[in-house]
Structure formats: C-alpha cells, structure tokens
Structure 1
Amino acid sequence: MNVKDLLNLKTGDVISIVGAGGKTTFMYSLAEELRYENKVLVTTTTKIYMPHKKYYDFAIIDKNNLNKYNYKKDNGIYLYGSSLNEEQKIVGLSTELIETQLPYFNYVLIEADGSKRKPIKGWKDNEPVISKKTCKTIGILSIEVLGKKINSENVHRLDEFKRITSFKDNELINIECLTSLVFHHKGLFKDAEGEKVLFINKVDSEAEFIIAKKLVNNILENNNNYIDRILIGSLKNKQYQLII
C-alpha cells in the first residue's frame, strides 16, 4: 500500500515530519503519491537542500512572494521557502507564514526538524518547530542506528541525546535506547501536534524486519495510547506496513 493510504489522510491535512533517517525522502515520497490529484505544498521550518526539479512542479523561494500561486488551480507539488543560502539550502518559513497558505492547498507537508544528515538526534529546547495547525506529526526513526556507537559522528545534538536516553558516550544504541527516545517528553514527539505517527524506516531486508518488529513490540508494551499509528518499511523500496 501507499503511505498516503496507511496514514488515512483527509483533504486539508497538515503533516509535520520530525526525527532523523529519512525526513526529506518521506516528505517527497508522500508528495509524489498525492501529486497528480491534489495541490500539495512542501516546505520547511528549518533548512533543506534545494531538490532536483523532478521533485516539484512550482517553486517560490522568496518569503515576500508567497501569494503568487494562491489561485492557481493546477495540481502538483509546490515548493516554498524564504530564501536560498550559500549552501544551496532552502531557508524555511515561519509557522505563521505557512499557516497563511493553508487555504490554498489540499495538503501541506512540512519538514519541521533538522538532523545534519545524521541518522539519529536529540533536541534542543527550540526544536522542532511545529505548526499548531498540524494534524499529524510523523516521527522518523531509522532501524540502521541499532548497534551504532553513541558519538558525534552518528548523533546530532549528542549531549541532548544522552540526556534524553540516559545512555553514555560510545555505548551502543539498542532497542531500549530507541524506546526511551520515543517516549521521553523531550524526545521524538516533543511538541507534537495532532495524531502521533511513528515510521520506522530502512527496513530493507527480512533480517531488518525481524529487528524492527522487536522494536515495535517493545514500544507497544510501553505505549498506553501515546502513539496513535506505527508504520514500518523502506522508503528506498517503497514498501510499507501498518502495525497499529
């Protein structure tokens, strides 16, 4: 099944994507599924690299010109940002600016978190940046982090990550570590709005599927209705499974 079907989306939904290990890929994959029958806004409240033109149909990278396509009827992916910096990164929009655009789109997809391309992260007090209009917060975890050392090479915001998980430098990330990251009040769903959806990514093989199920079972034992929906799968292979 497609991600859009497993998420049970409704027209007008605002989706904020947080975590690490596939946020940008998830955003563009979902946008692609919605592209031909909807007017879809993709944007960020942080910074993302300017994508190849195949990933969008229309773009405005100028916070003073966001009204240009308000009444355009064409379906497709509309990419919005404030500006383009020297790294060729799109500088994001404030939540207030994004919210002015909601009436003009069928769906709004927001990358609301940054991870410096590292596979896992902790969070400072001022992140993520999530619109109050968000209907679903998608928390991304990558199964590939299991067994990796807790160090600055693997972890963005290392000090914050250690405080959240109570794990120490050079310990190995395990199922208990990821479970604590999911449920801690300053963890993966910090400041989440709407339905909480956990997506475990990079489940690319049978062995990784078995490990992912172990992680899911541990999360379910501690859930108490905290997480509303859990998906596991592979953005690379476009294969997804709904667990709850």
Structure 2
Amino acid sequence: MVKNYEEGLLTEQNSLSEALHINSKNPVISVTGAGGKTTLIRTMAEEYRKRKIPVIVTTSTHMLAEDRPWFLTEPSEEKAVQILKAEGMVWAGLPAEHGKIKALPQKFLDRLLTLGYPVLIEADGAKKLPMKVPADHEPVILPETTHVLCVYGLDAVGRPLSEVCFRTGTAAEILDMKTTDPVKERDLAKLAFDCRGGRKGVLPYMEYRVILNKADNTKREQTAYRICRLAEAQGHTGITVLARGNSNQ
C-alpha cells in the first residue's frame, strides 16, 4: 500500500515512484531519518529496474552489505557498468566493519554521477528505531542531492519516547516533553518538518518529502492521516504513507 496525502485525503498510488513525484531522468535521492531506509531504497531500486531504468545505490554513511551479484565493493567504473548492464542496478560502497559498506571515494562517486542514471543514497543511521534526531554531523546529505526522503515509523506513536527514538534527549528538548512521555501524533508531525529534525541539512534547492512507514492496519493509517492533517495545519505538505510490505526495516 502506497498513499499520498493530497487535498485532505490519503489517495492510493500505483507505485512508490508515482507517489514521490520524481520526474527528473537522473535524480540523486538521499534517504534519511529512522528505520526503514534500506527497504525503501530497495523498493525504489526494484521499481526502476522493472521499468528498465538502470539505477545506482550507495551510501554516504554505512549500510548493510549483501551477498548479491549487484553489490560492488571496489571503486571500479568498468565493473559498475558491467553490473548495471547485467543486473539493472549496482549497489556500491567500500568494505566496512560488521558486514557493512561505507561511502565511496568522491572521485569515483563523481564518475558514477556522470553516467546519468538515478542514484539512491542511504544518508543516515537510526539503529532501526522508528524516530530519529540527527547528531551535529548528521545526516550526510551530499550537495548533488536533488530529493530528500525522510522516514518515520508510525509504530512510535503511543509509546514512550525513550523506547522509540534515537537520541532521545535531543528529541525531548525539541518537542518539549519528557523522555518517559508517550509520543503523540503532533510530536511526529513537528519533528518531521523541524530544521533540527527531519529537515536538518536539506538545502533550498532540494525537494523534501516525509515517508510515514508501517501503516500496517486501519488504526495506523488513521494515525498517519491525523499526522498529515497536523502537518498541513503547520503549512507543511509532501507526505507519503507506506504499509510494512513497502518499508519494514
């Protein structure tokens, strides 16, 4: 399930690509925020591949490496092009600890950007928690970025902030609440569009969209709807709602 909040309603979309309104031929999309980023990127990459559009996936921080033929762990443009031709996508990064890959050398990334394909970048970490407040050095949004997608989990609502948020203390300051207080819909709506929260590091030329994931049942979809209404009342638009089948990690 993929829905957009438009004109006061949650409207079903045919695909994630359609929901995001990304019309440029070779966007550079940085995905930030809470748990769910890798699965969101995987869904987007698969949609590009089904449309016969080669896509490049990488990270500006760290992401999990997988034993898949489309993973590349060395800065070889020749191999990247070969994988793109054979697999329709390449996931590129340098080897890192704990089975992860890390950011590519800038010169190699620049070469990949010149290929003219969509680029998806995991640009943040959250230890799989449904809420996140970035540290001073986060998120790592590259200046080449054209679109920023910031992920939040609807399963945070109703639970104590201390249980669901990465960097709880900072979040409590921004939201003017105690760490033991339950997260309310208004808290998610505020954090998602705060320049110390979801919008941190987003430059004026970058398009920004909030992703509310784990809308797994009617109750959570209603929660998402109320968050959208609260955000709209604050003058914010651009929210996509996903069920777990689209983004769940």
Cα distance in structure 2, aligned partners of 1:2 and 1:96: 34
Give matches, 1:1-244, under 5 Å: 1-9=14-22, 10-36=24-50, 37-53=52-68, 57-62=69-74, 65-69=75-79, 71-72=81-82, 74=85, 76-85=88-97, 87-93=98-104, 97-151=108-162, 153-193=163-203, 194-223=206-235, 226-227=236-237, 229-236=238-245
Secondary structure of the corresponding residue to residue 69 of structure 1: helix
Unaligned 5+ residue runs, structure 1?
A: 239-244
Structure 2 unmatched runs, 5+: 1-13
SS in 2 for 1:68: helix
Q: What is the DSSP-based 3-state SS (H/G/I as helix, E as strand, rest coil) of the residue aligned with 2:228?
A: helix
Distance 1:8 1:183, change over 3 A: closer
Amino acid at match of 2:184: N
CA gap of 1:94–1:71, structure 2 versus 1, over 3 A, is closer
Q: Distance in 1 between matches of 2:243 and 2:107?
A: 33
Q: Deviations over 1:46-74 (max 9, x none)?
A: 11111352xxx422213xx2323355461
> What is the CA–CA distance in structure 1 between the aligned matches of 2:111 and 2:198, rounded to whole Å?
27
How many residue pairs match? The answer is 228
Residues 140-160 of structure 1: CA distance to partner in whole angstroms, max 9, x if unpaired?
111110011111x42212222
CA distance in structure 1 between the aligned counterparts of 2:26 and 2:169, rounded to whole angstroms: 38
Moved more, 176-185 or 207-216: 176-185
CA contact (8 A) 2:154 2:214 kept: yes
Give deviations 1:134-178, integer Å, cap 9, x for gaps: 111001111110011111x42212222222222212111101211
For residues 122 and 96 of structure 1, the distance between their equivalents in structure 2, rounded to whole angstroms, comes to 30
1:102 positional shift: 0.7
Assess, with a 3 A threshold, how the Cα gap between structure 1 residues 92 and 203 changes in structure 2: closer, same or farther: same
Q: Which has the higher contact order (CA 8 A, sep 6+)?
A: 2
Tell me the alpha carbon deviations over residues 119-142 of structure 1, each in whole angstroms, 9 at most, x when there is no partner. 211111110000111111001111
Alpha-carbon shift at residue 104 of structure 1 (Å): 1.5
Query: 1: distance between equivalents of 2:33 and 2:139?
Result: 9
Greater mean deviation of Cα atoms: 130-139 or 175-184: 175-184
SS in 1 for 2:58: strand
- Give the aligned residue type for 2:223: I
- Give me the identity figure in percent: 26
- Normalising by structure 1, report the TM-score: 0.86
Moved more, 71-80 or 169-178: 71-80
> Alignment partner of 1:200: what SS?
strand
Decide whether the 8 Å contact of 2:35 with 2:127 is kept in 1.
no
